[in-house]
């Protein structure tokens, strides 16, 4: 969930009133936001770097507000204020207009070289904008928030904003060999080739995260003006030449990307948020984008879409009984201008370009419910009549757990993920023999594989509890995972029961007795015939030679029991003899 940080006083000024922290928290909750933290720049720096560094920092109060991940229109002060003011019916939602310029339209020409790396681009112009320091900061911050969220860290979309007065169109969006791209990037004093820049930015804490998007590509995307000035090398960096400042009056905005839909949404969000500060409020100057196939479109789209939803559907989905008129009013408060039409039960809803999150009638239903107030909805119980059933394997597990404890064994809960070493090397096995599933992106060795046996977890539990009085009698009933090409995903869970006895003597008779008890509980008689159980001498690398038996029940092998091999005991950092039992309980269903 993105967090937007706004200056409290600026926010209250824009909202036209002040709130106590509690009042504002309440307002956020109602609207689906969360006032996450009340802090200041000084406090943040002091927390992260200590009081000394924070000495000169501002102590203006900041509100950190959590915004739902699909509400890109609330990612800056301007959007938050507009959303809340409309919600509280203090203003009407503004109408955003795309206008044609008096003179020539700005053109962005896309060449076919971009197809393989970053094929899409859209553009727009904000004319006669008036920034202040706070507005400018908010403009930069919104781009950053969009980059981090909908733009997927610039992978899907990257935004470039430029001082149009320093450039001369038409602009060309193309892709070139890195060695052929040379320009002075933002915040540098001289020109570098793209190759040099990629090297320099490897150590840049901010930019290094985006390099991978184009790094190994033969051609890098780049935008030039008609004089060959580099506007930007998306998605990495803009040129210094066209940088915007607080004094910039005309802004050229380009969004390049791999997802056309998202590029259009991002552009719409930026221009709708900041056209507020244009001389003609909420108007945006169109730009023309010429595609490699020669066709062209104008942007931003700023599309208003009409949806029709029946009032009784909203009432039925939410569980309320409001008149169509009231529902239309509720929706209008959510920035969705609505009116009752037709037979008096139809509501026509206008979806503005800021609400790209509305893709289905259910999104409209939710907004009606939010405006109605979730906590005002009457709670009722559904009349759904059903008979409950337990999942048979879990039912058996529950029954066995209680009787294992009654038999004097203590239940442990260990991790399903572990290292290869735990399930292979430490048990004297080769990893290939385990048929384990392997994780491709573990952050540490603890998450290399899913366990194929419960034993390592139990032995590690003992190792962490060596100070406890002996004997230690532990068990776990849980799932292990084995590769299996007969299942749809290629792997299968098995419900295992594992028990260990750890003492000054191996206690094989105790573990064997436990097996006898388990079989008694499962109503499996001793003996080979009639679905009985029997243990037969066996061997296994985890067991001491001659001290291992395989367990056969109901005609199949279900597991092993025995005295653990001293090497296994040592590798798990234990010092006492130990016997163990592990069976698959699936066959006993």
Residues 234-293, interacting with other proteins (CB under 8 A): 259-262
> DSSP of 289-342, one letter per residue?
EE-TTS-EEEE-----EEEEEEHHHHHHHHT----HHHHHHHHHHTT--EEEET
Tokens for 532, please give them.
Answer: 């009985």
Q: How many residues bind other proteins (CB under 8 A)?
A: 108
**Residue 443 in the binding site for other proteins (CB under 8 A):** yes
Of the candidate residues 227, 245, 293, 389, the single one contacting other proteins (CB under 8 A): 389
First to last CA, the chain: 44
| Cβ proximity to other proteins, 141 vs 403, nearer residue | 403
Of the candidate residues 216, 293, 441, 556, the single one contacting other proteins (CB under 8 A): 441
| Cβ proximity to other proteins, 70 vs 296, nearer residue | 70
Question: 253 and 160 in contact (C-beta within 8 Å)?
Answer: yes
Question: Could you give the CA distance from residue 175 to residue 80 in angstroms, rounded to a whole number?
Answer: 37
State the binding string over 506-545 for other proteins (x if CB under 8 A, else -).
Answer: --xx--xx--------------------------------
Comparing CA positions, the residue from 249, 296, 26 lying closest to residue 127 is 249
Site for other proteins in 102-161 (CB under 8 A): 152, 155-156
Site for other proteins in 420-439 (CB under 8 A): 437-439
Of the candidate residues 493, 538, 557, 584, the single one contacting other proteins (CB under 8 A): 493
Write down the least CB distance from residue 385 to other proteins, Å. Answer: 7
Site for other proteins in 339-368 (CB under 8 A): 359-363, 365-366
| Cβ proximity to other proteins, 169 vs 506, nearer residue | 506
Question: Could you give the CA distance from residue 230 to residue 222 in angstroms, rounded to a whole number?
Answer: 7
| Cβ proximity to other proteins, 85 vs 493, nearer residue | 493
Site for other proteins in 21-50 (CB under 8 A): 29, 31-32, 34
- A 10 A CB-CB count for 297 gives 13
Of the candidate residues 211, 393, 534, 576, the single one contacting other proteins (CB under 8 A): 393
Q: Give the largest Cα separation in the chain, rounded.
A: 97
Write down the least CB distance from residue 87 to other proteins, Å. Answer: 11
Of the candidate residues 407, 429, 521, 576, the single one contacting other proteins (CB under 8 A): 407
Query: Which letter, b or e, does each residue of 379-390 get, where b requires 16 or more Cβ atoms within 10 Å of its Cβ?
Result: eeeeeeeeeeee
**Residue 440 in the binding site for other proteins (CB under 8 A):** yes
Of the candidate residues 59, 411, 528, 573, the single one contacting other proteins (CB under 8 A): 411
Return the C-alpha torsion angle 354, 356, 362, 364, nearest 10: 10
- A 10 A CB-CB count for 91 gives 12
Site for other proteins in 304-343 (CB under 8 A): 316-320
Site for other proteins in 461-480 (CB under 8 A): 461, 463-465, 468-475, 479
CA 57: distance to chain centroid?
A: 32
Write down the least CB distance from residue 243 to other proteins, Å. Answer: 30
Question: Could you give the CA distance from residue 419 to residue 150 in angstroms, rounded to a whole number?
Answer: 35
| Cβ proximity to other proteins, 216 vs 227, nearer residue | 216
């Amino acid at each position: 969930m993105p967090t937007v940080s706004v200056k409290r006083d600026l926010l209250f000024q824009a909202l036209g009133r002040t709130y106590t922290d509690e009042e504002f928290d309440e307002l956020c909750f109602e609207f689906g936001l969360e006032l996450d933290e009340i802090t200041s720049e000084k406090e943040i720096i002091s927390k992260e770097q200590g009081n000394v560094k924070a000495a000169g920092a501002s102590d203006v109060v900041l509100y950190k507000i959590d915004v739902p991940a699909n509400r890109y229109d609330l990612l800056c002060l301007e959007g938050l204020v507009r959303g809340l003011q409309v919600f509280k019916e203090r203003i009407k939602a503004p109408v955003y207009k795309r206008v044609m310029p008096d003179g020539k339209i700005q053109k962005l020409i896309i060449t076919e070289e971009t197809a393989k790396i970053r094929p899409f681009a859209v553009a727009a112009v904000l004319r006669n904008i008036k920034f202040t320091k706070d507005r400018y900061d908010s403009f930069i911050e919104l781009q950053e928030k969009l980059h981090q969220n909908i733009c997927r860290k610039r992978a899907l979309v990257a935004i470039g904003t430029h001082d149009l007065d320093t450039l001369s169109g038409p602009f060309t969006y193309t892709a070139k060999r890195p060695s052929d791209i040379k320009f002075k990037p933002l915040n540098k004093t001289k020109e570098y080739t793209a190759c040099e820049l990629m090297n320099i930015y490897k150590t840049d804490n901010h930019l290094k995260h985006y390099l991978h998007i184009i790094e190994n590509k033969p051609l890098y995307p780049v935008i030039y003006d008609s004089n060959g000035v580099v506007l930007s090398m998306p998605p990495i960096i803009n040129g210094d030449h066209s940088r915007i400042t607080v004094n910039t009056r005309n802004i050229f905005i380009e969004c390049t990307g791999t997802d056309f839909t998202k590029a259009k949404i991002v552009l719409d969000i930026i221009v709708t948020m900041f056209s507020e500060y244009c001389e003609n409020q909420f108007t945006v100057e169109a730009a023309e984008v010429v595609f490699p196939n020669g066709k062209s479109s104008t942007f931003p789209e700023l599309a208003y879409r009409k949806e029709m939803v029946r009032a009784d559907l909203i009432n039925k989905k939410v569980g309320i009984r409001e008149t169509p008129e009231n529902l239309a009013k509720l929706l209008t408060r959510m920035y969705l201008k609505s009116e009752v039409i037709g037979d008096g039960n139809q509501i026509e809803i206008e979806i503005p370009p800021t609400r790209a999150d509305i893709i289905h009638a259910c999104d409209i239903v939710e907004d009606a419910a939010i405006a109605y107030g979730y906590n005002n909805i009457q709670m009722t119980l559904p009349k759904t009549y059903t008979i409950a059933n337990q999942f048979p394997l879990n039912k058996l597990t529950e029954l066995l757990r209680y009787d294992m404890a009654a038999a004097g064994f203590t239940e442990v809960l260990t991790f399903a993920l572990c290292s290869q070493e735990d399930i292979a090397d430490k048990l004297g096995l080769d990893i290939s023999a385990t048929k384990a599933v392997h994780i491709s992106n573990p952050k540490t060795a603890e998450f290399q594989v899913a366990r194929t046996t419960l034993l390592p977890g139990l032995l590690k539990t003992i190792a962490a509890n060596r100070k406890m009085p002996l004997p230690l009698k532990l068990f776990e009933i849980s799932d292990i995972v084995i590769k299996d090409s007969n299942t749809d995903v290629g792997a299968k869970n098995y419900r295992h029961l594992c028990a260990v006895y750890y003492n000054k003597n191996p206690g094989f008779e105790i573990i064997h007795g436990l097996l006898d008890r388990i079989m008694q509980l499962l109503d499996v008689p001793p003996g080979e015939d009639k679905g009985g159980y029997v243990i037969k001498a066996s061997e296994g690398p985890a067991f001491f030679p001659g001290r291992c038996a395989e367990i056969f029940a109901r005609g199949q092998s279900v597991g092993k029991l025995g005295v653990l091999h001293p090497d296994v005991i040592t590798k798990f950092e234990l010092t006492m003899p130990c016997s163990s039992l592990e069976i698959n309980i699936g066959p006993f269903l």
